[in-house]
A and B are shown apart, each in its own frame.
Chain A
Amino acid sequence: MFKVADAPLDGRVPDGPIADKWDNRKNELKLVSQNNKRKYDVIVVGTGLAGASAASSLAEMGYNVKAFCFQDSPRRAHSIAAQGGINAAKNYPNDGDSIWRLFYDTVKGGDFRARESNVFRLASVSGSIIDQCVAQGVPFAREYGGTLSNRTFGGAQVSRTFYARGQTGQQLLLGAYSSLMRQVGAGKVTLMPRREMMDLIVDEGVTRGIVCRNLKTGEMEAHTGHAVVLATGGYGNVFYLSTNAKGCNVTAAWRCHRRGAYFANPCYTQIHPTCIPVSGDYQSKLTLMSESLRNDGRVWVPKSADDKRAPNEIPEADRDYYLERRYPAFGNMVPRDVASRAAKERCDEGFGVGETKQAVYLDFKHAIERDGEDVIRSKYGNLFHMYQKITAENPYQVPMRIYPAVHYTMGGLWVDYNLESSVPGLFVLGEANFSDHGANRLGASALMQGLADGYFVLPYTVGDHIGKHGSSLKPLGNDHPVVQEALESATSRVNSILAVSGTKSPDSIHRQLGQIMWDKCGMARTAAGLKQAAEEIRALRDVFWNEVKVLGTGDSFNQNLEHAGRLADFLEFAELFATDAWHREESCGGHFREEHQTEDNEARRDDDNFCYAAAWEFQGVGEQPVLHKEPMEFNEVALSTRSYK
């Protein structure tokens, strides 16, 4: 199903002891002088935490920035939906936290599949992120004395999570958005909302710009510059049902992949344990309930599989608090992949609750008895409110019903230590890259990574690229052959979708794709299932190109066409996903292969054969991709079996 490249892939990690690597790299990077920065244009695609922070930081430094997003405003990017919090090794609670511990927890939480040096840099800039956000006016929770408050999150034994009620992502994004809008007001950033990136412009191997479709008018536009920064989020919607926003898509990343950027570890998908269960076949998306709820909620199922009693009538003796039973040290606070698999195991064994039996209870009875309803309301009021609106049940009185759902994708475009992809001049940030979370992301770390990349890493490394190539890159006009070619290819793709006059709506095909992915590439995978999935995906791609029905025209506001375009890319991407999952003959983090598990159903890694990042090179649709292996070396944290017992 694939070919393997001969030479290992080099992550271009700087020399020196791990704590000095980032400083060493910064000292080597080329600088662009203040007067020259205004001569250079940087394109930033995506305006979530990573994109908005990068765009505003670059503009503050003096570059001319164009910021693109498909939504009507940069403030809508899906970072906004993150609820629980953001990690930082500030050690304000004086409970023994340190940069090294955050680094250690993240490497271990990622099941030893992340690049150690990246994770250390992430941990070491984490404190500055909090400083920056507070200075912007982000209203983090406070103690009565006026200092910042912290809470505990999964996979950690210290309190290092900063939060703004259950809306941390919203507040951080609005902080980054406000900085971005300040630069828009100052004329340093040109905002391009309602634009979908359709292609990457590459000339002589160097990134020169993008082609995007103006979603309001349908016009195809080319924008060129001296560097392109991709911060377009994850691809969880390949599963159709996920906690991602409906618009989240792989298109921008996939288009870059088709132009030569390697795609790394696509199979690493995070299935979040606490989501509201599916209620019917009309379901359009799933809603997350923050992991922070596990601080006070206890997860359980009845001890007897055919217990028909209402949850409140089931006495303590007949309840199985299975996380506390299996993982006494971490209890309800085990990492997400562990909690999700444990829930699936209970439901598969027939202990699930609710109408569909595909749910477990998350119970706040004890917390309410201990702290009172008011305390619980002040911590989680908005989440309880949301739960009640969706299910019409009052979680202060009856336990929540929860089930795992696709939430985050650790895989993404391959980047080196400088966050530069395999196409020079194309930088990839946040969820869109693969770098920091390995095979599983810890809670409250996505916000940290997005902002670290945008505020404190990219602004340095973009300068290096521009310092080296900037003066030799002559502006490309719209009539330049590579620009023309990219414009034509994007236009013809839109036209060919419109030309298929079939009978199936994009949504119905997307649902079919989601079903294949959930059944065969979901929480538990097998070699045979994955092989079959790849075949089914190929067949479904044919269905799409022969039977899809998209009404309307290409030169107007056409949401159906947008969806079809994104789906077309998901259908190509999904095959790579299945191939990657099939090739990785081990279980690690969010990738669980049934063939590779211990006797008590825990994941079994194979460090001898798979301790690498799998970076795939595109060879054509339906062609065998080429696998480049970047070895993951662990010099600081010894490779060990994760245990949360």
Chain B
Amino acid sequence: MSGQGMNLTLRVWRQAGSEAKGEFRFYQLNNVSEHMSFLEMLDVLNERLIKLGEEPVAFDHDCREGICGMCSLMINGQAHGPDNETTTCQLHMRRFRDGDTITIEPWRAKAFPVIRDLVVDRTSLDRVISAGGFVSINAGNAPDANCLLVPKQDQEKAMDAAACIGCGACVAACKNASAMLFTSAKVSQMALLPQGKPERAQRVLKMVAQMDEEGFGSCTNTSECEAACPAGISVDNIARLNREYLKAVVFSDEGV
């Protein structure tokens, strides 16, 4: 296998800390196997940097099987790289060609401040969930699971929405840094299921309010989020959120 790998130029955003001024640095990486994942390629880069005495590139990652949502990266201007429905950890180097220059940047959004290099702080998404992305049920309080009948097609749609991995690619890809796809996925899941009905109105109002407070932009229906989403979340959920919001404002008792 050796000698057959790709030779790549990496243009990587380096930033020593949240307050530091960042810059791009160029690294030449040779003999990269096409079977490597993108993160394994960065591992190889980091091993080399350590040998050379330069601090390795910081990047978030954990499960490396596309489900934890920890990995991020804007690769050549695309969130999670060129493949659809793929996280960076699942992206493989066979997608690139010998001689390519690859630009790697962190997610950029006011609500996602950079911590170091390619690592950003996404706790704003957690706060959106804590504003209302739940059913208020205490442990031990639940009725028998089969008491609630859920039509299969509703459950399937709820599952489609619930598949969100919370990586923030929607925010990164949106020209407005809007978190509408993320927020709408949770609102949709709960709106589609009978369990979510009692808190429906206040959920959508509070989650949208929190989303605004965190400094995310608004949705201009460009659908870039849907294309970038590794979990295949559809913008139909955004329409559902809008509908839920309208209903909550016009018909519910919330805010009286």
Any A–B CB pair closer than 8 Å = yes
**Which chain A residues have a beta carbon within 8 Å of chain B's beta carbons?**
53, 56-57, 60, 71-78, 80-81, 90, 92, 128, 130-137, 139-148, 164-165, 167, 170-171, 174, 177-179, 181-182, 184-185, 191, 193, 216, 243, 245-247, 279-280, 282-285, 287-288, 385-386, 389-390, 392, 455-456, 459, 503, 505, 507-508, 549, 551-552, 556-557, 559-560
Q: Which B residues touch A284, using CB under 8 A?
A: 37, 39-40, 43, 64
Write the chain A residue with the least CB distance to B167: A76
Chain B positions 25 through 66: 1 when the CB is less than 8 Å from some CB of chain A, otherwise 0: 000000001011101100110110011011110101111111
Query: Contact partner of B189 among A137, A147, A503, CB < 8 A?
Result: A137
Complex CA gap A143/B35 in Å reads 40
Q: Report if B150 contacts A (CB, 8 A).
A: yes
Give 23 A-B contacts (CB < 8 Å), ordered by A residue: A60-B138, A73-B166, A75-B69, A76-B63, A81-B68, A131-B144, A135-B143, A135-B145, A136-B137, A139-B162, A139-B189, A139-B193, A142-B150, A171-B162, A178-B129, A279-B35, A280-B36, A283-B40, A284-B43, A389-B86, A455-B139, A507-B43, A507-B47
Q: Which A residues touch B12, using CB under 8 A?
A: none
Q: Report if B155 contacts A (CB, 8 A).
A: yes
Name B's interface SS: loop
Chain B positions 169 through 202: 1 when the CB is less than 8 Å from some CB of chain A, otherwise 0: 0000000000000000000011001011000000
Q: Which A residues touch B108, using CB under 8 A?
A: none
Choose among B61, B85, B143 the residue with the greatest number of A CB atoms under 10 Å from its CB: B61
With an 8 Å Cβ cutoff, the count of chain B residues facing the other chain is: 80
Q: Decide: A146 and B65 in contact? CB cutoff 8 A.
A: no
Complex CA gap A101/B155 in Å reads 30
Q: Decide: A57 and B61 in contact? CB cutoff 8 A.
A: no
Query: Contact partner of B63 among A80, A147, A549, A557, CB < 8 A?
Result: A80
Q: Decide: B193 and A137 in contact? CB cutoff 8 A.
A: yes
Q: Which A residues touch B151, using CB under 8 A?
A: 142, 146
Q: Decide: A131 and B149 in contact? CB cutoff 8 A.
A: no
Complex CA gap A594/B165 in Å reads 43
Q: Which A residues touch B115, using CB under 8 A?
A: 216, 557
Complex CA gap A76/B122 in Å reads 12
Q: Decide: B90 and A135 in contact? CB cutoff 8 A.
A: no
Complex CA gap A254/B130 in Å reads 32
Complex CA gap A179/B136 in Å reads 7
In residues 103-158 of chain B, which contact A (Cβ within 8 Å)?
115-116, 119, 121-123, 125-126, 129-146, 148-152, 155, 158
Query: Contact partner of A76 among B62, B137, B143, B163, CB < 8 A?
Result: B62
Q: Decide: A181 and B130 in contact? CB cutoff 8 A.
A: yes
Query: Contact partner of B53 among A178, A243, A385, A551, CB < 8 A?
Result: A551
Q: Decide: A193 and B123 in contact? CB cutoff 8 A.
A: yes
Q: Decide: A148 and B146 in contact? CB cutoff 8 A.
A: yes
Q: Decide: B152 and A143 in contact? CB cutoff 8 A.
A: yes
A-B contact sample (6 more), CB < 8 A, given A81-B68, A282-B36, A508-B47: A78-B63, A80-B67, A137-B135, A137-B189, A279-B35, A507-B47
Q: Which B residues touch A559, using CB under 8 A?
A: 56, 58
Q: Decide: A74 and B139 in contact? CB cutoff 8 A.
A: no
Q: Decide: A128 and B142 in contact? CB cutoff 8 A.
A: yes
Complex CA gap A424/B131 in Å reads 36
Q: Report if B102 contacts A (CB, 8 A).
A: no
Q: Decide: B166 and A246 in contact? CB cutoff 8 A.
A: no
In residues 64-118 of chain B, which contact A (Cβ within 8 Å)?
64-70, 83, 85-86, 90, 92, 94, 115-116
Write the chain A residue with the least CB distance to B186: A178
Query: Contact partner of B90 among A71, A174, A389, CB < 8 A?
Result: A389
Query: Contact partner of A146 among B92, B131, B152, CB < 8 A?
Result: B152
Known contacts A178-B133, A193-B123; A134/B55 CB under 8 A: no
Complex CA gap A243/B68 in Å reads 13
Query: Contact partner of A185 among B130, B142, B146, CB < 8 A?
Result: B130
Min CB distance, B63 to chain A, in Å?
4
Complex CA gap A92/B141 in Å reads 21
Complex CA gap A498/B148 in Å reads 56
Q: Decide: B47 and A181 in contact? CB cutoff 8 A.
A: no
Q: Which B residues touch A285, using CB under 8 A?
A: 64-65
Q: Which A residues touch B22, using CB under 8 A?
A: none
Known contacts A182-B130, A280-B33; A81/B65 CB under 8 A: yes
Query: Contact partner of B131 among A75, A77, A90, A185, CB < 8 A?
Result: A185
Q: Which A residues touch B136, using CB under 8 A?
A: 182
Q: Report if B159 contacts A (CB, 8 A).
A: yes
Known contacts A139-B159, A390-B92; A549/B50 CB under 8 A: yes
Write the chain B residue with the least CB distance to A135: B142
Q: Decide: A246 and B62 in contact? CB cutoff 8 A.
A: yes
Q: Which B residues touch A141, using CB under 8 A?
A: 155
Q: Which B residues touch A282, using CB under 8 A?
A: 33, 36, 40, 43-44
Q: Decide: B140 and A455 in contact? CB cutoff 8 A.
A: yes
User: What 10 pairs across the A-B complex have the smallest Cβ distances?
Assistant: A146-B149, A135-B142, A178-B134, A181-B130, A185-B130, A131-B142, A134-B145, A139-B159, A245-B63, A182-B134
Complex CA gap A389/B144 in Å reads 39
Complex CA gap A146/B195 in Å reads 13
Min CB distance, B165 to chain A, in Å?
8
Q: Which A residues touch B1, using CB under 8 A?
A: 280
Min CB distance, A346 to chain B, in Å?
24
Q: Decide: B139 and A551 in contact? CB cutoff 8 A.
A: no
Min CB distance, A472 to chain B, in Å?
28
Q: Decide: A130 and B64 in contact? CB cutoff 8 A.
A: no
Q: Decide: A60 and B139 in contact? CB cutoff 8 A.
A: yes
Q: Decide: A78 and B137 in contact? CB cutoff 8 A.
A: no
Q: Decide: A53 and B139 in contact? CB cutoff 8 A.
A: yes
Q: Decide: A135 and B33 in contact? CB cutoff 8 A.
A: no
Complex CA gap A170/B145 in Å reads 19
Write the chain B residue with the least CB distance to A82: B67
Known contacts A78-B62, A131-B142; A167/B163 CB under 8 A: yes
Q: Which A residues touch B143, using CB under 8 A?
A: 131, 135
Q: Decide: B67 and A170 in contact? CB cutoff 8 A.
A: yes
Q: Decide: B56 and A560 in contact? CB cutoff 8 A.
A: yes
Complex CA gap A507/B43 in Å reads 9
Q: Decide: B62 and A247 in contact? CB cutoff 8 A.
A: yes
Known contacts A73-B166, A181-B134, A182-B134; A139/B92 CB under 8 A: no
Min CB distance, A330 to chain B, in Å?
28
Q: Decide: A139 and B155 in contact? CB cutoff 8 A.
A: yes
Complex CA gap A191/B44 in Å reads 34
Q: Decide: A167 and B152 in contact? CB cutoff 8 A.
A: no
Write the chain A residue with the least CB distance to B132: A185
Complex CA gap A130/B147 in Å reads 12
Query: Contact partner of A179 among B35, B58, B134, B155, CB < 8 A?
Result: B134
Query: Contact partner of A557 among B85, B116, B163, B166, CB < 8 A?
Result: B116
Min CB distance, B19 to chain A, in Å?
12
Write the chain A residue with the least CB distance to B34: A392
Known contacts A57-B139, A137-B196; A72/B130 CB under 8 A: no
Min CB distance, A290 to chain B, in Å?
11
Q: Which B residues touch A549, using CB under 8 A?
A: 50
Q: Which A residues touch B54, using CB under 8 A?
A: 551
Q: Which B residues touch A174, using CB under 8 A?
A: 162
Known contacts A146-B150, A455-B140; A76/B35 CB under 8 A: no
Min CB distance, B224 to chain A, in Å?
22
Q: Which A residues touch B44, using CB under 8 A?
A: 282
Known contacts A76-B70, A81-B67, A557-B119; A142/B47 CB under 8 A: no
Q: Decide: B122 and A72 in contact? CB cutoff 8 A.
A: yes
Complex CA gap A284/B193 in Å reads 39
Q: Which B residues touch A508, using CB under 8 A?
A: 47
Min CB distance, B142 to chain A, in Å?
4
Q: Which B residues touch A385, using CB under 8 A?
A: 85
Known contacts A76-B70, A181-B134, A390-B92; A134/B195 CB under 8 A: yes
